[in-house]
Amino acid sequence: NAGVTQTPKFQVLKTGQSMTLQCAQDMNHEYMSWYRQDPGMGLRLIHYSVGAGITDQGEVPNGYNVSRSTTEDFPLRLLSAAPSQTSVYFCASTIADGGNSPLHFGNGTRLTVT
């Protein structure tokens, strides 16, 4: 059972480039989300999805797009990377949007934008 798989683990982009961070889970979880972790900050929610075809914005959505065409996959797109998007990104999933089930996290993607 792989759990939550994120790729790539590391990425360096130039300002203005675009890329997609991949996230897949094999636990049949309905809820998936993306967080970013910056020094001195707590994990901040970027976007989330409560099921296939449904997405919504979190606390810091600007500069990021998401889609959820299948239950398993929840990619995060940076359309035009900016240095402010240098961060560590975590994808997380849970059984359903119930609030009382724990999140399962991927291993993170460390992104540097120069």
Separation of alpha carbons 83 and 25, rounded Å: 29
Q: Which is nearer to another protein, 19 or 103 (CB)?
A: 103
Please choose, out of 18-26, 33-41, 64-72, 73-81, the segment that lies near another protein by the rule CB under 8 A: 33-41
Is residue 40 near another protein by the rule CB under 8 A? yes
Distances (CA, A) of 47 to 4, 8, 14, 15, 55: 16, 19, 23, 22, 7
Least distance (Å) from another protein to the CB of residue 17?
26
Is residue 50 near another protein by the rule CB under 8 A? yes
Collapsing DSSP to helix, strand or coil, 61 comes out as coil
- Selected from 34, 89, 94, 113, the binder of another protein by CB under 8 A is 94
Separation of alpha carbons 96 and 79, rounded Å: 29
Beta carbons of 109 and 6 less than 8 angstroms apart: yes
Where along the sequence are the contacts to another protein (CB under 8 A)? 4, 31, 33, 35, 40-45, 48, 50, 56, 58, 90, 94, 97-108
